[in-house]
Amino acid sequence: MRRSRMTALAGTAALVAAIAGTATATAVPGASTATTADSGTFVVLADQGANVGAIADRLKRAGGTVTSVNRAIGLVTVKGSGDVLRAARSMSGVEGAARERSIGAAPTRAKGPDPVEQEHVFDRTRTNGTYKSTPTPPAGHDPLDGHLWGMEMIHAFEAHAIEKGDKVRVGILDTGVDGTHLDLAANFDSALSRNFTTDMPDIDGPCEVASCVDPANVDDDGHGTHVAGTIGAALNGFGLSGVAPDVDLVNIRGGQDSGYFFLGPVVNALTYAGDTGLDVVNMSFYVDPWLYNCAGGAPEDSAEEAMEQDVIIAAMTRALDYAHSRDVTLVGALGNNHEDLSNPRTDLTSPDYPGGTEHPRTIDNETCWDLPVEGPHVIGVSALGPTGEKADYSNYATDLTSGELEVSAPGGWYRDGIGTETYRTNGNLILSSVSLSSLRNTGEVDKNGNITQPGRVNGVIKQCTDRRQPDQKATCSYYAWYQGTSMASPHAAGVAALAVAAHGTGADAGSFSLAPDTTKALLMGTATDHACNAPTRSYEPEGRSAEFTATCVGTADFNSFYGDGIVNALGVVQ
């Protein structure tokens, strides 16, 4: 199996006691920014069993500023000049060192929100997906729940009569979570939440706070807040509810404001999840700057680029292994590249940072991985539209033994329902919570909290606790329609949380624990089988190019579009 080969390649044997210690990455105060032309942030991966603290000390003596030390997997993050990077590579006990982020090398276009996820352009002649056309919610549920066709597809409303996820901790490894959102505040765990990123002005814009480290209840991008709402928005008579509406939501931010996810913050978030006892972690992203990380690099990559990918592969594998060993169930988005992950196309987008360095790359399926979803122990999730068809953008996997795709879930598909009134309407997407700051950044809400014309076009919905209150900032929250495997993955993560709540054993009075392999087996074993509708699915009628045409192979039990089936919330709690 492909993941087994990756594990062997990256050297993921159990970590010896020398680096087991306290796994949480230790932040180092007073980090300064280097200014030389080749300055930047570097990651240094120690050999397994090496003294990570000693390596960090040597990096300081070489002129670097150490910003974090992750003893769980032996990763040191350091700022400095290119001389520091060269010195690191010559040190004994270092497996590899690579540039992670440059200083002063802005990309031509910030990564930002995935255009796939915000494809919607509302048609004024139709009412599907607006506040005025909200269907009646299920009995005992929240006002906007009638919009949540995805919850109906996975039988979440029915599951809530049995289990809501109380005491289960779910980590949101994303761009942050707005902990003040009125539908998330009751479930948001401010004590455990952490931000592992530092804002980068070249891609994130000016820092909002002096340290450039946002508080752990902030999400300027909006993506993480949307994911969090699908997983665990409270069932509180307001707004909408999540798949597991009583879970503990823990922000373990690893993504920049601009939507980039770099190695150091992601690894530190994963090991923190293991140390803190999180039960489930959702990962709706890929690790920048490489869409695919190839062992030894792709044929067209430079030696420096190959080294960078080798470090990412090794560090991510160690981090995923570490979290899994500490009973964290890992759930990941399969990707929005309308691609057969078993037969990947030429990569035209990497590296996506720094700007202007991308080049065509030949991707060998045996030695290249989309991380984290193709890493060890990650449950890969494809995306479906409201008719149950694979969304045109969703990746899939024709090698049914590869472990790339496990299950499918509602992710939204704007172009679903062709030939009907729902075609190209917002209601085909996934409605969830979003942060006010993100809507202001996009111009969908103005400084006074009012929805603008762009916001109305995109179907933004505003909910207030008391519409007579003049101070709307304090009493209103917002919801928006997105689509993507980023939206499918949290549906599956929410079902995983329900599985832990229903079948886990009490580690103490306040939490549950369930082995992630057991959680995965429950998720896959109870999934609703869905056969291929046809061997080949062309999306040209919906306006897509022939490149989107996808091949469905396998049986109703397991196939390249649905994996083991559509996740089933009622199934895992019964």
pLDDT digits (tens, 9 = 90+) for 322-353: 999 999 999 999 999 999 999 999 999 999 99
DSSP β-bridge partners for residue 330: 281, 378
**Confidence (pLDDT) at 20:** 31
What is the mean predicted confidence (pLDDT) over 65-86? Answer: 96
- Min mean pLDDT across 23-27, 71-75, 135-139, 552-556 is at 23-27
Asked if residue 558 has pLDDT above 60, the reply is yes
Instruction: Using alpha carbons, select from 30, 13, 65 the residue that is nearest to residue 44.
Output: 65
Residue 501: phi and psi, rounded to 5, are -65, -40
Check residue 98 and give its pLDDT: 95
State residue 262's pLDDT score. 97
Angle at 367 between CA 77 and CA 97, to 5 degrees: 20
pLDDT tops 60 at residue 6: no
Q: Considering only CA atoms, give the Rg of the chain.
A: 22
Instruction: Give the pLDDT confidence score for residue 129 in this predicted structure.
Output: 80
SS (H, E, C) 100-132: EEECCCCCCCCCCCCCCCCCCCCCCCCCCCCHH
Q: How confident is the model at residue 109 (pLDDT cuts 50, 70, 90)?
A: low
* pLDDT reading at 106 higher than 70: no
Contact 251, 216 (CB under 8 A): yes
Q: Of 420, 470, 490, give the one whose Cα is nearest residue 173.
A: 490
- Give the model's pLDDT for residue 12: 35
For residue 439, what are its two tokens? 């809507």
The length of the chain in residues reads 574
Lowest mean pLDDT among 3-7, 288-292, 444-448, 494-498: 3-7
Q: 259 — phi, psi (to 5°)?
A: 100, 0
CA angle 297, 298, 304 (to 5 degrees): 40
Q: State the Cα–Cα distance between residues 497 and 249, nearest whole angstrom.
A: 11
Write the DSSP string, 201-250. HHHH-S-SSTTS---TT--SSSHHHHHHHHHH---SSSS---SSTTPEEE
Orientation of helix 52-61 relative to helix 82-90, angle to 10°: 140
Instruction: Give 278: exposed, middle or buried? Use CB within 10 Å, 0-12, 13-18, 19+.
Output: buried
Distance (Å, whole) CA 296 – CA 368: 9
Judged by average pLDDT, the poorest of 56-65, 116-125, 278-287 is 116-125
Which residues are within 8 A (CB) of 540 and not within 5 positions of it... i.e. 6 or more apart? 546, 548, 549
Q: What is the pLDDT of residue 495?
A: 99
pLDDT band for position 4 (50/70/90)? very low
Q: How many helices (H) and strands (E) does the chain have?
A: 16, 21
Average confidence (pLDDT) over 5-13: 38
pLDDT of 247: 98
**Tell me, what's the pLDDT at 101?**
80
pLDDT of 250: 98
Q: Give the pLDDT confidence score for residue 25 in this predicted structure.
A: 59
How many other C-beta atoms are found inside a 10 Å radius of the C-beta of residue 420? 10
DSSP letter at 337 equals S
Which residues, including other chains, have CB under 8 Å from residue 28's CB and lie 6 or more apart?
65, 66, 67, 68, 69
Q: How many whole angstroms separate alpha carbon 176 and alpha carbon 197?
A: 10
Give residues with Cβ within 8 angstroms of 102, minimum separation 6.
39, 40, 353, 354
10 Å Cβ neighbour count for 352? 19
Structure tokens at 501: 């709540």
Q: What is the pLDDT of residue 37?
A: 44
For residue 467, what pLDDT is reported? 59
Burial (0-12, 13-18, 19+ Cβ within 10 Å), 431: buried
Average pLDDT in the chain? 90
Mean of pLDDT values over 43-66: 97
User: What average pLDDT does the segment 276-299 reach?
Assistant: 98
309 vs 202: CA distance, rounded Å: 23
3-class state of residue 519 by DSSP: helix
Could you tell me if 365 and 342 are in contact, meaning their C-beta atoms sit under 8 angstroms apart?
yes
Residue 28: is its pLDDT beyond 50?
no
Asked whether the predicted pLDDT for residue 470 surpasses 70, the reply is: no
Q: How far apart are CA 212 and CA 507, in angstroms?
A: 37
Cis peptide before 289 (omega within 30 of 0): yes
- Residue matched to tokens 């949307």: 226
Vertex 189, ends 503 and 285: CA angle to 5°?
80
C-alpha 301 chain-centroid distance: 26
Identify the burial level of 13 via C-beta atoms within 10 angstroms of its C-beta, where 0-12 means exposed, 13-18 middle and 19 or more buried: exposed
pLDDT more than 70, % of the chain: 89
pLDDT exceeds 90 at position 234: yes
What pLDDT sits at residue 119?
Answer: 78
**What is d(CA 196, CA 213) in angstroms, rounded to the nearest whole number?**
8
Which residues, in sequence order, are bridge partners of residue 126? none
Look at residue 29 in the predicted model and tell me its pLDDT. 38
Q: Locate 22 and state its tokens.
A: 């306290």
Residue type, 320: L
Angle of helix 223-232 versus helix 485-503 axis, rounded to 10: 40
**460 neighbors 445 (Cβ within 8 angstroms):** yes
CA distance 231 to 339: 26
The CA distance from 122 to 481, in Å, is 11
Structure-model confidence comparison of residues 5 and 120, the more confident one:
120
Q: What confidence tens digit (pLDDT) does each residue in 476-526 have?
A: 999 999 999 999 999 999 999 999 999 998 755 456 789 999 999 999 999
Contacts of 311 (CB under 8 A, 6+ apart): 43, 45, 95, 96, 97, 98, 263
pLDDT of residue 8: 35
Which of 212, 215, 211, 217 is CA-nearest to residue 250? 217
pLDDT at 112: 72
**pLDDT > 70? residue 244:** yes
Of 264, 197, 199, residue with least CA distance to 44 = 264
- Cα separation, 204 vs 86, whole angstroms: 28
Q: Inform me whether the pLDDT recorded for 2 exceeds 50.
A: no
Q: What is the pLDDT of residue 126?
A: 67
Confidence of residue 160 (pLDDT cuts 50, 70, 90): very high
To which residue do tokens 């995923």 refer?
320
Mean pLDDT across the stretch 424-453? 95
Mean pLDDT of 38-67: 96
How far is Cα 323 from Cα 278, in angstroms, rounded to an integer? Answer: 9
Instruction: For residue 469, name the pLDDT band (cuts at 50, 70, 90).
Output: low
Split at pLDDT 50, 70, 90, the class of 122 is low
Coil vs helix vs strand at 289: coil
